[in-house]
Amino acid sequence: MKMYNPKSKVATEFIDDAEIRETLEYAEQNKANFPLIDQILEKAATLKGLSHREAAVLLECEDPAYIEKIYALAMDIKKKNYGNRIVMFAPLYLSNYCVNECRYCPYHHHNKHIARKQLSQEDIVREVVALQDMGHKRLALETGEDPVNCPIEYVLESIKTIYGIKHKNGAIRRVNVNIAATTVENYRRLKEAGIGTYILFQETYNKESYEYLHPAGPKSNYAYHTEAMDRAMEGGIDDVGCGVLFGLNLYKYDFVGLLMHAEHLEAVFGVGPHTISVPRVRTADDIDPDEFNNAISDEIFQKIVAVLRVAVPYTGMIISTRESQRTREKVLHLGISQISGASRTSVGGYAEAEEENSAQFDVSDNRTLDEVVGWLLDLGHIPSFCTACYREGRTGDRFMTLVKNQQIGNCCDPNALMTLKEYLEDYASPETKAKGEKMIADTIPLIPNEKVRRLTVEHLADIAAGKRDFRF
């Protein structure tokens, strides 16, 4: 009989089905145990995080007053660890060739409706220039899994191309990569290529559901997929990004599995996931989300975000354009620290409008990047294009230490302001520029360290004069 062991390297031992079911039963039994919930909230308020079992109790709690307490704590933790910054990025789909048969993804091998495409290096240059002309500095590369049509060599070449593009004041300063589970050696090659975060969604942690949803192809191997983050970190990648696709399986099960995965990485490597994403199943070519009967409401979605924030206070949380403006607005203050803007989920699609359907899913937020930036400013957030930590080597546990010591005021806020200033000078509409300049003026006095504050003011003046790329 297998036993739960967060330090094990075996998927079914660090994601133990019996432990998840016992946790869910414990949470159900204690959902109205308010003295226990008070204790859990007190622990969470120390910013040390929660166990998967403690977090499950909060997620299960149905008392409106306590839900409000959870939300208030999530907001407080988000402010203390990340301030009011929201980091901006865009996905770039390089290829949608795929040999897998995932039941929820239109890239599945037997889908004959979708146009199969792969960007050439010349295509990539055009797409990246278009992204730079919007103001983006951070990309997430996406591909299907196809060792023949999309080998690791193609991905590595694409990364090199992207980092080499110099166009006006534009620059992609961090390339994150979301590709299929691979070998330690390939992760090592990705690290050498200079990637930021390696992202891989589990989709679901329920092994039985996982195997049903992935009937054929390399991704059907539950253990190989679930153990990928271990191999990535063994290959030298400091920052990994986890996530599940909510709606495929019972959300409570996957919520607990996600936190157990974070605990496992912390137990084995001394640092948990750099980011956690919270996508929900969306309509796409050949895919009807109504076929999946585990869809979650906006209310449950908010609760998931808030409890994740209090359970893993140091981890960045991402919400994409899968979600509408309205939904994104509801969860921004509950713990989200990164969002995409002006996204295309087709292969390419930035340089010119797509003529054929190659998209992975329908986008719910179709606004331009400038509209998203202006909206964030209206809500009191600082849109940040910062990549300083990655480029200064503050990754993995070094980054986590920075967050845990709440150094946002002296480091992250100034970097955010300087990258926002670059955006305002080079790309913003007059209306957005006026909003951004006010945000900068209002935020500078809040920088606690006098020297950092003075240097920030100097660098902002330098940016206005045409210089670029300052960072602390």
- Supply the DSSP string of 285-323, one letter for each residue: TTB-GGG-TT---HHHHHHHHHHHHHHSTTSEEEE-TTS
**What is the residue extent of each domain of the chain?**
11-79, 84-366, 395-464
Cβ within 8 Å of residue 435, ≥6 positions away: 374, 377, 378
Distance CA 213, CA 254 (A): 14
* Higher pLDDT among residues 63 and 109, named by residue: 63
Q: For 343, phi and psi rounded to 5 degrees?
A: -70, 150
Beta bridge partners of 244: 203
Question: Which residue in the block uniquely carries the two structure tokens 């079911």?
Answer: 21
What is the torsion angle, in degrees rounded to the nearest 10, for the CA atoms of residue 224, residue 229, residue 233 and residue 238? 160
The mean per-residue pLDDT over the stretch 346-372 comes to 79
Which CATH homologous superfamily contains domain 84-366?
Answer: Aldolase class I (3.20.20.70)
The mean per-residue pLDDT over the stretch 425-433 comes to 98
At 233, the pLDDT band (50, 70, 90 cuts) reads very high
pLDDT given at position 2: 63
Winning range, highest mean pLDDT, from 104-108, 403-407, 459-463: 459-463
Q: Is the Cβ–Cβ distance between 440 and 420 less than 8 Å?
A: yes
Distance CA 57, CA 66 (A): 11
pLDDT given at position 98: 94
The mean per-residue pLDDT over the stretch 103-107 comes to 84
pLDDT, tens digit (0-9, with 9 covering 90-100), for 269-283 = 999 999 999 998 765
What percent of the chain is predicted at pLDDT more than 90? 78
Mean pLDDT of the chain, nearest integer: 92
pTM: 0.93
Distance CA 313, CA 77 (A): 7
Distance CA 384, CA 448 (A): 19
pLDDT given at position 100: 94
Number of CB atoms found within 10 A of residue 143's CB: 26
* Higher pLDDT among residues 120 and 343, named by residue: 120
pLDDT, tens digit (0-9, with 9 covering 90-100), for 275-329 = 999 998 765 555 566 666 677 889 999 999 999 999 999 999 999 888 889 999 9
Cβ within 8 Å of residue 7, ≥6 positions away: 14, 264, 267, 268
pLDDT given at position 392: 78
Question: Which residue in the block uniquely carries the two structure tokens 């994601």?
Answer: 15
**Half-sphere exposure (Cβ direction) of 185: Cα atoms closer than 13 Å:** 2
Question: Which residue in the block uniquely carries the two structure tokens 């003026």?
Answer: 441
